[in-house]
Structure 1
Amino acid sequence: MFVDELRRAAEAAARVELPAVSATLWKAFGAGQITEADATALSELIEARKAVPAAPRPAAALRGSRPRTDESLQRRRRWAVSGRLPPALAARFTVAELAVLAVVAAEAARHGRCGLAHGHLAAVAGVSVSSVKRAMKAARDLGLVEIEVRRVSAFRNDTNVVRVVSREWLSWLRLARTGGGVQVGAGTPTRCSSRAAKRPAEPSQGLPGRQGGIHRRVSADPGAGGGSRPNHVLGARGRTV
């Protein structure tokens, strides 16, 4: 009877429980409760169970806020290179933190502040919630943003309100809204060109030529055999010379 119980225990026990079954087996053999043949058979059964490889564990479902998809990685990279921060400030953050601050800058440029929750920021930027917290802490420590904690009760808070307070960052955002300082559209005429445009055009008088500071008007003389000769010479002030 005891042998049958040990056999059932050896067949049904998990791998981690087999050493305990083996210890019980040899303890019962020492007490004379089972024979040597039964002890040998049960010992071989236990060793055979240990030799069988363990079944692979099912893949655990991915949980948590850390993104693991190609789409989230692409969003993170697009936000990081969107140019929402000046290069001098952007060099102080990682790619994930830069993506978070770029989303904050976009919200601040649109609404004057960012009131998105950490989970919402993480989903839009393609990063984890811990990356959002690190980015906010680093930006606050550098004096780039001001974070308003809105406490509703002793155990619950509303979403934080983040405002950009850095002058360099604000100037960069204003410059981006105006197209980066590049003038768009037709150029404005210069002062000289405007004067030239207002100056009246001089009447055309034949084919004027310039020789020694004196203007000549040459007319054809039909009586000179189709040749041409100077009709009269005008001085600089229009007087005949």
Structure 2
Amino acid sequence: MSRLAIGRGAHSTGADTASVAVVEYKTTAEIRRALEGATTIQKVKALDELMWRAYGAGLIVEAEATALSALFETRKQILTTHAQDAAEERATADRRRASQAAARRGSAPRSQESLERRRRWAASGRLSPALAARHTPGEIAALSVVAAEAQARGDCRLPIGQIAALAGVCETVVRNALREARAHGLLTVEERRLTATRSDTNIVRIVSAEWASWLRLKQSSTPRGSGCKFAKPTNTQRLIKNGQRPAAPAQRLPGGRAAAQAAPESRSAEGR
């Protein structure tokens, strides 16, 4: 067949001049080899354009053009798949590097004390089983801190960081707990804006009748005292200082058990 030529132009602006590189292919076999060695979709498209230009000029028969067209489409799909895989690998590598960088920066340590605080607050019973089933253990701990503060002061005005520290969770868990509880109608959050860039702590109020009655029931069932009695012993040192001594056991119970035990002994002595 006659020689086929493909022009690859590189145009630029300014004082640069345009340059054209011409690659010649003598047979369709050379086009096939060039297609197999093409590593970019742009190269495949250029070869495809050359082939159809040659077909229009009558240099390639219809059978050869159809076969080459199928090869072009297959090569395009392969290169597209490779490009997508490479993009996904780059995205995965970027995520891995970001996670490694975050790990190097460090986060709040999950200490044993914080875990114990979270478990204690979650098991404090300040949420009924029906309400607790809607939240995670960390959210239950955060809401228990809010409930304890509301029981003591009528509402909760603690900062998010302090609630998180008391409950042994992070601030994100506290925000999630408040957002979920507000969505279920358990509480309200009042924002106190001071200026355009400054705010005071929010006021959290419990508005759920079910939750409020559960807290009242728990507070009434909690014992207020232990019922212990404190003994008041007699100051014997003061009696001895004043010239008095404690009475003997037999004299301490006149007519009692000691006197009853002493009466038979006196009668037996008189009989002798």
**TM-score after normalising by structure 2:** 0.43
Structure with the bigger percentage of helix: 2
Q: Between the two structures, name the one with larger relative contact order (CA 8 Å, sep ≥ 6).
A: 1
